[in-house]
Every structure is written in C-alpha cells, then in structure tokens.
Structure 1
Amino acid sequence: MLTAVAISGYRSVHDLVLPLSGLNVITGANGSGKSNVYRALRLIAGMAEGGAIRALAREGGLDAVLWAGPEQPVKPGSTAQGTMRTRPIALQLGFASDDLGYLVDLGLPVPAESTMFNRDPVIKRESVFAGPVARPSALLVERRNAHVRVRDDAWHDVPYAPPGHRSILGELGDTQTTPELLTLRNRLRDWRFYDHLRTDIDAPARRPQIGTRTPVLSDDGSDLAAALRTIVEDGGARTLDATIDEAFPGSRIEVAATDGVFTLGLRQSGLLRPLGAAELSDGTLRFLLLTAALLTPQPPELMVLNEPETSLHVDLLPALASLIRRASENTQVVVITHAQRLAELLGEAPEVNALTLVKRSDATDIDGLGMLERPRWDWGKR
C-alpha cells in the first residue's frame, strides 16, 4: 500500500507530499490542483510502461507542465516576480509504500546541434529505496543519467546504459540482480485509472461486442457486458445483484450471447423487455461501468477514480459510495471528486483519509496539514 505520493515542479504543484491510506478522498475547488495530482499519478505509472515521456509530450512538453510560478512561492499578499533561476529545471515524482519507494527526476538534455529533440525531457536521476524516505542508507537501486548501480552487500555497477527517455523500471529488472525493479514494474503496471468513462451515443459500451472472460474492465469500457458476466461467473452474482438493486430498485443486469457476441440489458420493474445499452441514460451507463470496474474479480494494488460522479444523479451517490467502500476492502483506492455529497458519504467510513486541496500563494497545498504532519520526504540532489 502506498503511504505517500510526492510531486514537485508540476503545473500548480510546487512541492507536495500527500499522505495515503486504504481509502483516500481528494476534494478541492476548481483550480486547486486535483487534476494535476491525478495526472502525476498516471505519469508515475507510465514510467513502468515507457509512456511517461510521450504523455509529457502530449501535454506540450516539459516546458508546458513545469511549475508555473517563481522558484520559491511568494508570501501571501506579495506579487510574484521573475528571478534568476538558481536550480536546474526539474519535474520530480515519487511514492513511498509499506516496503519499496521510488522517485524520478526529469529535466532537459544537454543541448546538442546534432539533434532536433533538445526539448525532450530526459531522466536525470531515479532511485528505488526501502522505507518511507530515500536516505542514502535506504537506497537499493540508483541511477544518475546513464549510470546505474545496485546494492546488495555492496554497490555494483550495472553494465547497461539506459536511454535518457527510458526508465530503469522498463529497461531493467530480473530476479537475480534487480528484483526490486521487477517488483515495482509489475506493481505499477497493475495500477488502474478510470477517468471520464465514455457514455456518449457512440460509446463502445453501447454496442454489442465479442465477449471474452474479462476480469479487468478496459479504459474505454468497450467490454462492459463481458466484464459484468465475468463478475457473475467468478462468484460475484449476489454482490452485483445487490449493487444494481440499491442503485435502481427492482432492476437486474442481463447479458446475452449470440455466436460469441455479448449484449447488455437492464431489466427494470414495470417494463416488458430489458433496456439495451444503447437505450440507457448517460448516468445509468456510467454507474454500470463503475460497477464493473469496482467489483473486479482481480483487484489491483491501486485504483484511482477521477470524478466518478460525472453524469450521475445525486440519488446514485449512496450506491456509488457503497461500491467504493467495498472495493477498498481489497485494494487501495484514491477518489478525486468535485461532489461534496460523495465525499461526505465516503467520509462516514472511519478509515477514510480525506484530503482537501487549496491554493496558497498560487501553489497547491493540503488544507489543515502542517509541516509536522506532512509525510517525510527527501528528493536528494542530482
């Protein structure tokens, strides 16, 4: 389980360390930095897939996503003014967990006339460490530019120079020399993110699809019918029926298969036939998508939901909160939401970790969390 996530130099985030528990609810006003926390988590996960650099490019490159304020945030009541930079350009991301932690420091390459990619971000430093803080004594794997070393009884150099745009999480990792990298890579690849699941008229979930056993709902929800049927056949029929009945009293899910093509229906009391996926309202379809994601027979170590309340009527929020609480019994869940009602319902659970993001001196901060309560973190130096 992650115990902290650290972000530095990313958009509205100057330097932020979020404490995490099993069930986490992140709220805040528009512009407070919720989306930036979500994107940062996706970037961390992307390090294991080799997709973080491409993701930064899609956001406009490193220059477009760096902390937009002065090197040091201004004091309340003061005006921000440009100053001479004293530290190198850096976007830093990391996390601590019950056993292994990870941090990455991204910057710009040394300019060269022989390339047109001088603005592509490169990895300056990476560390894998044991415990909550990346102290020198806790380091297990360390990368500085292309030089990588690992420690068992003593430090040993790795005879491979990873490209500047590729993380050691994706490039290295075996059971003999770097088992920690293999462990982290598998964990990060298992993280799941659900963000604005499509419910428009052309959404893949509204069309019949070839069905295969689907323990994990896809990002676009195209395999919704197969995912719901998998829940039933893996022993979750009673829980699924109870969830649907709580959200839509007297209703139940029906999945039909013809020559391997699955179709989804929702049978409701008072109707002579089930409503097909193409007929469902956006809110109803979104709730079914979230149900398939949260009742997964194959729980991940971490699931992140970004604004799951979108398109849902307020009457569906209690059922959604029940779903999320049930999922948090088997997986760590982070919910980023605008819906105060959903946050209140989730907050009724004694174990919930409620975090409210605010802007202080134009930088994202956590309301009510003092420096002494903030998780310990050390970025180290290049």
Structure 2
Amino acid sequence: MTATIGKKQLSRIVLKGFKSIVECDLELSKINVLIGANGAGKSNFIGFFRMIQQLLEQNLQVFVSRQGSPDALLHFGRKTTEQLEFRLYFGNNGYFAALAATQDNRLMFVEEFFWWNLAAEYELGKGHFETKAFSLTGTKIHENILSAMQGWRVYHFHDTSDSAYVKQRHGINDNNYLRPDARNLAAFLYLLRENYSSSYQKIVKTIRLVAPFFGDFYLRPLPQNNEFIELEWFERGHDIPFKAHLLSDGTLRFICLTTVFLQPEGLQPETILVDEPELGLHPYAITVLASLIRTVSKQVIVSTQSVELLNEFEASDVIVVDRSEGCSSLRRLETQELEKWLEDYSLGELWKKNILGGRPSR
C-alpha cells in the first residue's frame, strides 16, 4: 500500500522540454525508485532538481553557463524546443515557470507564478533572469512551498578518490545540513554527536551492521586549527584513530547514506534525492539501505541500476524510464498488471526478463 505523502512533499510533476524529457506528467508517492537502461534519462530527471536548487539560490544563469548554454538544457536545443516548462504540485498548491533561451545564451523567465488551493495565483511577471519567488517571503506560499523546495537535496556520493572533499579538512561550523557530496560529513556528525545523541548512536550502530570492524568516529577540532575538522574513526577494540582514506569506498559511501537517512527528522529535507546509491555496496549493505529508505518519514526519489535494491521495494514504488528516438518517457508501474507475475518472480527478475521495461532498446 502506498504511503501518504506530506503536504510539503511533491505530489505531481509536469516537465516539458528538459534535456531528453520532451514531456513528463508523473504522480509522485513517498518512495519513488527510478529504473532504466544507461542513458535512458534517469539522471536527467534527477538533474532537473539540481537546476531547481540553483534557481532558488539565485544561481540560474551560473548553472546555465556551467551546462554550456541553454541548448544543453532544452530538448535538442532551442531550434527544436522553444521553452522549458515545469509545474510542481504540492497537493492543491504549486509552482509554475516557463524559461526560454535568449540570444546572449541565458534563460529568461517568460512566465512564473505560484498557486494556492487550485486558485489565487501569485503572478511574478516575466522578462527576469532570476526567480522572483522570494518576493513572497512571509506568505503561506513561502511557509509551505518555498521552504520545502529550498530544502531539497540531491545527494551524490560517487567520488571517494583520495582527493574527494569528504576526505579533506573542512570548516567545523559548516553543519546546517549535510551537503550533497558530503564534504562536510565530519562537521555534520560532530553536530549530531553533540546535540542529537540518539540519532548519532543510530548512525554508528547501523554502520556496524555493514562494517563490523567499525568502532566509532573520532570527531574533534583539528589540534593545529580548531576552526577545522577532518573525518577520523576508530576500529572496534582499538584507540588509534584512522583517516577517512583507510575506509573502503563502499564503506565510506554507506556512511554517507546512513547519515542522510538517519539524521534527525527535523534536519531532513522534505524530499531526499539520491543518484545510484548502490554504487560499490555489498548486497547486504543494499538490503540495509533499502530498509533505511522505507522507514524514513520523508519523501525519497532514487535512481538505480541495482536488481538487489529494486527487489526490496513494491511495484507501486517503481518508475520506469525508457528512451526511444532520443526521448525519455517515465511511467509508474501498474501493480495490478503484475500481480500474476509477482506470484512467481521478484521485481528484479521481471526487470531482467524485460517485463517491466527499462532495458536497452535498439
């Protein structure tokens, strides 16, 4: 049975003209697991939320520039797609924007507004290059929609190389939230240990399920500069601290993921997005991860290539992403259509048999 989503969580998204997504009208639930072949468009869907983050930080034009140009965001460029549109629903409330390319390679708002209770539109005008949403600060729109959207986090823990930010020293006061690449993991865990002991202990105990050798974190201001902190840890039964580079890639990623899903509820984003969380994880770690996703109170959107992770969820949680002739399509699985199949096969087996879709196509 699909869990009810909160009033500050996305209930529906309509997206047109973004990268490989020509048009998408998708109902969202509490758990949303995207599956599909390489290049199908899963990352493009997740990437849309990254764009929204930049838009709300007044960095839309910087984001466009870093992408290369508006043509990299518009489906097959401006010659094919005149404008990018999206409509985000939070129950009966929501946000709409339409963006078009300009001759100087910027994206300009050609329309922007919020609506409340299916009416009472808050028009924000046109011709501007950064959102005017914050003109509504102090209104019910800000309290119920904008604040939730500002809290969205798209987590991506793929970089565990020696130069990865998570392994470097970091400002100890950068702890308002866990950053998308976990670069402030040590500072954030330090905050949890000092102020949210119950959540911190849950994180440590869960890590031990997957890495029994792990004892605890060694969290302290750096002796040579107490404004900085570095991720250190103890092996169980020993008191010699180790640096983060002595953790395996899979263990470090699992630590990041565990922190995301077991951080105090008051610090969690209303919608948590994770791109391919299974990377480098042992099958048992994937099982534990799925349990964390299922039990978190917030809305979760994950993209995955993992049969093991897919097997941990219900058919109603799954969104299939297919691509044909350069266009991505997204659809939620229909449970009733799969009832007979699921009597004999797991979701992962049905995916491998190409019953669900989301497989490479010619």
Rg comparison, structure with higher value: 1
Tell me the distance in 1 between the aligned counterparts of 2:164 and 2:201. Answer: 28
Q: CA deviation at 1:9?
A: 0.8
Q: Deviations over 1:310-362 (max 9, x none)?
A: 23233321122222223x32x211111122211222x05x8x62111112454
2:75 to 49, 67, 70: 67
**SS of alignment partner, residue 317 of structure 2:** strand
* 2:292 alignment counterpart: 323
- Per the normalisation by structure 1, the TM-score is 0.74
Are positions 1:227 and 2:227 aligned together? no
Unpaired runs of at least 5, structure 1: 72-83, 112-116, 132-136, 147-163, 371-382
Q: Letter of the 1:242 partner, please give it.
A: K
Equivalent position to 1:241, from 190, 204, 209: 204
Identity of aligned residues (%): 26
1:102 maps to which of 79, 95, 101? 95
Counterparts of 2:186 and 2:137 in 1: how far apart (Å)? 37
Residue 189 of structure 1 pairs with residue 147 of structure 2 = no
* Residue 324 of structure 2 is aligned to residue 357 of structure 1: no
Tell me the distance in 2 between the aligned counterparts of 1:174 and 1:107.
Answer: 26
Superposed displacement of residue 122, structure 1 = 0.5
Per the alignment, residue 121 of structure 1 pairs with 107
Aligned residue type for 1:138: A
Query: Contact between 2:124 and 2:133, CA under 8 Å: does it hold in 1?
Result: no
Please state how far the C-alpha of 1:37 moved relative to its aligned partner: 0.3
Say which structure is richer in helix: 2
CA contact (8 A) 2:174 2:184 kept: no
TM-superposed deviation, 1:181: 4.7
Counterpart of 2:310 (choices 334, 339, 343) is 343
Q: Which amino acid aligns with 1:253?
A: D
Amino acid of the residue matched to residue 93 of structure 1? Answer: F
Cα deviation for residue 31 of structure 1 reads: 1.5
How far apart, in 2, do the equivalents of 1:368 and 1:99 lie?
21
User: Distance between the aligned counterparts of 1:368 and 1:231, measured in 2?
Assistant: 36
Relative contact order (alpha carbons < 8 A, sep ≥ 6): 1 or 2 greater?
1
Contact map agreement 1:231 1:237 (CA 8 A) in 2: yes
Partner of 2:300: 333
Question: Partner residue of 1:142?
Answer: 123
Deviates more, 1:313-322 or 1:31-40: 313-322
Query: Partners in 2 of 1:274 and 1:130 — Cα distance?
Result: 53
CA contact (8 A) 1:169 1:184 kept: no
Q: Which runs of 5+ in 2 are unaligned?
A: 1-8, 335-362
* 1:251 to 2:244 alignment: no
Sort the Cα spacing of 1:196 and 1:236 in 2 relative to 1 into closer, same or farther, 3 A.
Answer: closer
Counterpart for residue 24 of structure 1: 32
Q: What SS does the corresponding residue of 2:281 show, helix, strand or coil?
A: coil
CA contact (8 A) 2:166 2:184 kept: yes
Aligned-partner residue type, residue 187 of structure 1 = A
Q: Which amino acid aligns with 2:189?
A: L
Question: What is the RMSD of the two structures over their aligned residues, measured on CA atoms?
Answer: 2.8
Normalised by the length of structure 2, the TM-score is 0.78
User: CA 1:68 to 1:210, structure 2 compared with 1: closer, same or farther past 3 Å?
Assistant: closer
Q: Answer whether contact 2:13 2:88 (CA < 8 A) is retained.
A: yes
- Count of equivalent residues: 318
Give me the whole-angstrom Cα distance separating, in 2, the residues matched to 1:272 and 1:9. 55
How many Å apart are 1:276 and its aligned residue? 2.4
Whole-angstrom distance in 2 between the partners of 1:313 and 1:232: 27
What CA deviation, in whole Å up to 9, does each residue of 1:179-234 have, x standing for no partner? 42565332221111112453110123223444337352123423222222333330
* 2:129 is the alignment partner of 1:165: yes
What corresponds to 1:309 in structure 2?
278
Q: Does 1:5 align with 2:13?
A: yes
